[in-house]
Amino acid sequence: MIDRRWVILGVLFVARTAMGFQYQTIGSSTPYLMDALGIGFTEIGTLIGLYHIAGVFLSLPGGLIIQRFGDKRICACGLTMMAAGGMLIAVADRYGVAIAGRLVSGIGGILFNIVITKMTADWFARREIVLAMAVILSTWPFGIALGLFTQPLIAALFGWRIVMLLSASMCVASLVLVSLFYRVPAAEPSVAAPAARGLGLPAGRVLAPVIVAGLIWGSFNAGLVGYFSFVPLLLVERGGTTLAAAGAMTSLALWVGMLSISAGGFVAQRLRRPGATIVLFSGAAAASLAAIVAGAPPLVACLAFGLAIGPPPGVITSLPTRVLSAADRAAGFGVFYTCHSLLQASGPAIVGWVHDHAGGGAAVGYAAAMFLVPLPLLVVFEVAARRARQGDAVAR
């Protein structure tokens, strides 16, 4: 009989794939949205980033809300808002309506992302946590790659509004699956006594490394967003390809990434060298984007990028579990995603501004630089985590 943990992981995999697919709808529909709404690249970048801007303000209270109302209920709420936001964008006739729809879907996506991370941690914290996190995180490039490969074609054949409606339908289907199959695991012994302060937050010595881990994850994802949103545009600018063909080529990295994230999580779990994994492969991702800017064959550079982005995600998102107790996970991951969202939400707008003022090469170069930000932050995390563990030892 299949272990329930893996059935639940499969359901969460499908649900989070829908989130990645919805996130990519703006990037894949860029020329159609620009024509329909009369906007430029800065506005497109802003729409892309709006999916995560709510996380800056909502991730922390979202974590506390999850503690109050429960995982499954908040997961359903998040998926419902994602579907509603997608439908609103589908009927948008001006930029303000598109902003409203993107904010609604983004708020739902933030709640969903926090709770699905906690769900995974609850089921796998005591074993195979890096592998499980890697599998869940592979859904992000999988959903985006699926979007890059299919959405430009759907938009060209049936219109960009159908793309938005399709993403909303996937969110509804995911809601049904989660409602039918997800169950809360038996509580861990440490859940009975939350180590909380004030508004329900973990102690300050625990929050410090969680904040740094969130910044690491945010910068890594800001670089990833820059890749799949602006590399296709750079390839089109250089001539000889259409947006659909450029999107398909760019998606190769994310198809490879889907496999390399899961495989990388398995390898990282066995090697137990989290710092070396983050440093080596984040640097390789930056080098791959720099190669695209320099004019390297895009197919080779995109495949190299896909291999490079695989190992770090499972390691990075498991960093908070090194200092958070089971009782503190919801609030702790709320803090983690607040910091993550701050960088990921601002990143696309900044890259779009760079594109408008300096061209596609500079925009992709900025994205490459974001992959280097985690390297010094990792040192800060290790110091803060060591102090948190020492503080816990003294408290006991």
Residues with Cβ within 8 Å of residue 358, at least 6 apart in sequence: none
How is residue 96 written in tokens?
A: 């303000």
pTM value is 0.72
Report whether pLDDT(384) > 80. Answer: yes
Lowest mean pLDDT among 107-121, 337-351, 369-383: 337-351
Burial (CB < 10 A; 0-12, 13-18, 19+), residue 295, is exposed
Lowest mean pLDDT among 32-36, 132-136, 161-165, 265-269: 265-269
Rg (CA), the chain: 20
Is residue 393 very low, low, confident or very high in pLDDT (cuts 50, 70, 90)?
low
Distance CA 268, CA 254 (A): 19
Backbone angles phi, psi at 138, to 5 degrees: -65, -15
- In this structure, are residues 65 and 74 in contact, taking their beta carbons and an 8 Å threshold? yes
Is residue 191 very low, low, confident or very high in pLDDT (cuts 50, 70, 90)?
very low
The pLDDT score that the predictor gives to residue 144 is 83
What are the boundaries of each domain within the chain? 4-183+195-395
- In this structure, are residues 314 and 134 in contact, taking their beta carbons and an 8 Å threshold? yes
| DSSP H or E run through 14 | helix 4-23
Report whether pLDDT(193) > 60. Answer: no
Report whether pLDDT(284) > 70. Answer: yes
Backbone angles phi, psi at 281, to 5 degrees: -85, -30
Q: In terms of CATH, what superfamily is 4-183+195-395? A: MFS general substrate transporter like domains (1.20.1250.20)
Is residue 25 very low, low, confident or very high in pLDDT (cuts 50, 70, 90)?
very high
Lowest mean pLDDT among 63-67, 123-127, 224-228, 296-300: 123-127
Average pLDDT over residues 88-114: 92
What is the average pLDDT score of the chain? 84
